[in-house]
Structure formats: C-alpha cells, structure tokens
Amino acid sequence: MTKDSNGTTQLSVLALDTCTESCSAAVSHQGIVYSEQADAPREHSQRLLPMVKSVLAQAQLKLQDVDVIAYGRGPGSFTGIRICTSISQGLALGQELPVIGISTLAAMAQSAIDKGATQVLAAIDARMGEIYWGQYISVDGLATLVDQEVVSAPEAIVLSLDETSTIAACGTGFDAYPQLIELLPTIELCEAAKFPEARYMLALAQDGVEKGQTTSVDDLAPVYLRDTVTWQKLPGRE
C-alpha cells in the first residue's frame, strides 16, 4: 500500500469477476488501474487465472504484494459465481489475503456512475421469468445501494429513485425484458454498463476496506439471492 498526495492510503487491490457472461480481472496499484475483460460465458474457468497473471504482471506485482482481493459475489449465474468465489478463495488462501465481496449490480452501477449517471437501476436476467435488480445513487462518486437487492418478476419492481431525474438502466435484465425501459420516461439505457467489470469494483473495494468490510477467506460469502443455492468451501475449509 502507498499514500497519495493527500495522504490517503492507496491499496493494491486485485479484483475479479465471472458472475455473468463477462469475465474480467483488474488491479489498482499506486493509483493506476490495469484491467482485462472478455465476453466468454463458457470459458470463465480457463480465462480468469491467465487474466489475473496478466494484470499483475502489467502492474509489476506478485500476488503476495496485493493488499486485498475483491471478488464478484453475485448475484448472477450460479456457475459463474461459484467459479469466481472458488478461484478467489484459492488465491487468497495461498497468501493469507483478506477478501471483500462486491455486488455485481453495484459494479454495473459504478460503471454507469463513472460515465456520468447520478442514479442507476441495475438488472440482471435471472431466468425463470425473474430478474436480479437493485437501485443505486452516486454518493461522492460511489455507487450506493438504495433499499436492498432483490430477485423478483420484472413487473414487481418498485422504484425508490427520483423519478423526475434521469435514471440510468444497465444490465441484461433490460435485454430480456425491454418493457422495463418504459417504466418511466426518465429511464435511459446505458449499454456500456451492460455487464459488471472488475475495474469498476476497485473503488468500491477501497471504500469497503476503509469501512472495515473485509473478511478472512473462511468467511467468503457469495450472494445468490435465491435461497435454494448453497456455497461449498474448498475441501478442508468447512
């Protein structure tokens, strides 16, 4: 970790995500971001570790130089969440690194906020006629959850955002259910924030570390939103 010109501690953060069709990894080191991303829904397990090695090499870091690992905790694809949490667990376990889970919905909202949005409705297609969704506002440039993340039928969305101002809409939920764009005339699709990307997890992770939200690898906690899914730890870590 280093300190910037304002005396703020700048952590070296490794972020990774495979919770949707997108696979990505990113590192923030000394205020510089190195990232890679690919749309490869069936190749996450093959692509993620090479991406991690690549961004670490670009930052001239070794894994043991990282201060914290930020992992995409969901919601999203069950298989994708398991891949992300398993690989994060393996990386963190080997170096005894703290971890912090970042919501995929928050990562998409952060992407939209970085592009100028002040409030965001993020929605991921959850299949079975449902979506995962959450509402966010920008607070000091960071995506901040309003109410809670929900899995529901699209028609069950109830907005708590300012309906008189522009609401950025991002995520695959709007591809699956285009009628969601018509909820309000102030909703505008942000196509550039369609998937979560690891680079947009970095600022959220830094903020979470400052707020004491990291855990040990034993307490790594994916979020499925559907209660019927359980997480299995690596053998010997039950």
What is the tens place of the pLDDT at every residue in 9-34? 689 999 999 999 999 999 999 999 99
Number of structural domains in the chain: 2
In this prediction, residue 196 carries a pLDDT of 97
- Domain limits for position 131: 105-193
Domain check: are 99 and 200 in the same one? yes
The confidence band for 5, taking pLDDT boundaries of 50, 70 and 90, is very low
Q: What's the chain's average pLDDT? A: 92
Prediction pTM value: 0.91
Q: Could you say which DSSP state residue 219 is in?
A: G
C-beta atoms surrounding 211 within 10 Å: 9
Domain check: are 22 and 99 in the same one? yes
Q: Which three-class secondary structure state does DSSP give residue 14?
A: strand
Task: Please give the backbone phi and psi of residue 2, each rounded to the nearest 5 degrees, phi first.
Answer: -135, 175
Indicate which CATH number applies to the domain containing 214: 3.30.420.40
In this prediction, residue 6 carries a pLDDT of 52
Domain check: are 121 and 11 in the same one? no
Q: Could you say which DSSP state residue 23 is in?
A: E
In this prediction, residue 2 carries a pLDDT of 55
Higher pLDDT pick, 108 / 230: 108
Domain check: are 100 and 203 in the same one? yes
- Does an H or E element contain 205, and which? helix 202-210
Domain check: are 82 and 182 in the same one? no
Domain check: are 62 and 163 in the same one? no
Determine, yes or no, domain membership for 235: no
Alpha helices in the chain (DSSP H): 44-58, 78-95, 104-114, 173-176, 202-210
Which residues make Cβ contacts (< 8 Å) with residue 30, sequence separation at least 6?
2, 10, 12
Average pLDDT score over residue span 114-122: 98
Q: Please name the residue that has the structure tokens 């992770």.
A: 205
Determine, yes or no, domain membership for 231: no
Task: Please give the backbone phi and psi of residue 21, each rounded to the nearest 5 degrees, phi first.
Answer: -65, -25
